[in-house]
Structure 1
């Protein structure tokens, strides 16, 4: 049992539709213990100054939601998050949009603003390599695992971009997973960050699809494995229950609450596409 796994905090929030139309807000029920904040539901899921502070990656963009005609802009979610306290805004939020549930997620970054989850994968490759095991090995020897609340004065959840995650000495599960997934994408791998639970506790990890096989990569692992064959197939990895997954462009939500060890198929719905601007 990895005692260092931090529960990532994931909240479920409804966008205020009246920002674009005068409709009443209907909060969605959560399966997990919730905390009601200004009509929004927050659900429990499970970074010091960066040497790249003078390099700012573009995270701004909009989300085009399947089944809707109007995209969801970053400014809209930031207007809503701005109404929360500093502590409350450190929750990750999953958003509904124009009657479509769970279309995307946002999280607070090191700049204290909420950005769409996809935007944290900024297209960063620390260095070139032809070996797919190198990114995970590099994470194991370079980055320390630390709870967010210990780094950020008690704040529950702050995300690092993939570039920040490489240069920051410490980070939690999302920071490790974001860097690993983005690096693998640069190597031509279909890699995604998965959000859900591990043994009942909130967690984030990476799913990589190689040669039509799904591998589950524990980005926070400090085992220095120098072989891709040492990585476990997702169908054999016990205790992991994914609810969402995302890469640079798309956000998926699981169709129902049933357990699964497969990350492709009809039980996953591609909810939206992130368009960076």
Structure 2
């Protein structure tokens, strides 16, 4: 195993060049409707006790690694992490298994335990929508960017599930990306959380595949609705260097260390499948 050190991410204000896929023509009425739905979702979930603090999503599971006969269990990961110091266990870990490198990643959650990266995508949708711009806009108005060490008593990296990321008003790049990707998946989009660096600093973002074209979505962007008219092509997004990507079920790693702006192809290896228990 090895640690994949994810330094504090930077909240990005600008996104990559915008092209091609239209998000619709949101206006002030649409903006108001989104706010109403968001508040209704918050009130409804609080009324039934379904919040980040008291709802227990299923995160446990095993990872089946391609080319091996024995799955990697969460119990094994948690036992290994328990032998580390608190500071060490706060980092994201990328795991080797039975001689195969970089088969999956785990990170410490709000419960202070390590869980597989896939498990943070819990199938949460704050409210129904068919508009692709709505999850981006909701993140922009709902969630404030804050680095983990400022929020969690100096700990370097704590992940929120997609549900927790909606209820928690603050979070860093992983939290934003996890909520955005999970919501887009609920809309029927092939969306993945990408892990790597942006301008040399650890970062996480979302890649969405729409009509066989890859788009890079900066989940931490706090731009407002008036400038959201198109999705940015991943091929034109500069300064993003991806190493891994994952969705609810699979974890991919680059075959080599060559920089790429393509999120599909033979240079990617599907290392493992997460099976929720």
Q: Does 1:66 align with 2:66?
A: yes
**Residue deviations 1:1-47, cap 9 Å, x none?**
xxxxxxxxxxxxx2xxxxxxxxxxxxxxxxxxxxxxxxxx434223x
**Residue by residue, what CA displacement relative to the aligned partner does 1:89-141 show, whole Å, maximum 9, x if unpaired?**
10100000000000000000000000000000000000000101110111001
Structure 1: stretches of 5+ with no match in the other structure: 1-13, 15-40
Partner of 1:52: 52
SS of 1:248's partner is coil
CA distance in 2, matches of 1:45, 1:85: 17
Identify the residue that residue 256 of structure 1 maps to in structure 2: 256
TM-score by length of 1: 0.83
Contact kept in structure 1, 2:63 and 2:273, CA below 8 Å? yes
Q: 1:63 to 1:228 in 2, by over 3 A?
A: farther
Separation (CA, whole Å) in 2 of partners of 1:52 and 1:231: 30
Give how far 1:88 is off: 1.4
Residue matched to 2:230: 230
1:101 aligns with 2:101: yes
8 Å CA contact 2:6–2:91 kept in 1: the answer is: no
Say whether the 8 Å CA contact 2:63–2:274 is kept in structure 1. Answer: yes
Deviations 1:69-95 (A, max 9, x none): 011110000000011122211010000
**Consecutive unaligned residues in structure 2, runs of 5 or more:** 8-49
Q: Is the 8 A contact 1:52 1:164 kept in 2?
A: yes
Match of 1:169 in 2: 169
Higher relative contact order (CA 8 A, sep 6+): 2
Measure how far apart 1:57 and its partner are: 0.0
1:80 aligns with 2:41: no
Residue of structure 2 in register with 1:42 after alignment: 3
Q: Give the secondary-structure state (helix, strand or coil) at the position aligned to 1:87.
A: helix
* Higher helix residue share: 2
Deviation at 1:227, TM superposition (A): 7.7
* Structure 2 partner of 1:4: none
Alignment RMSD: 1.3
User: Does structure 2 conserve the Cα–Cα contact (< 8 Å) formed by 1:91 and 1:157?
Assistant: yes
Are the counterparts in 2 of residues 207 and 216 from structure 1 also a CA contact under 8 Å? Answer: yes
Q: Deviation string for 1:127-184 (max 9, x for gaps)?
A: 0001011101110010000010000000000000000000000000000000000000
Runs of 4+ off more than 4 Å: 226-229
Question: How many residues end up aligned between the 2 structures?
Answer: 235
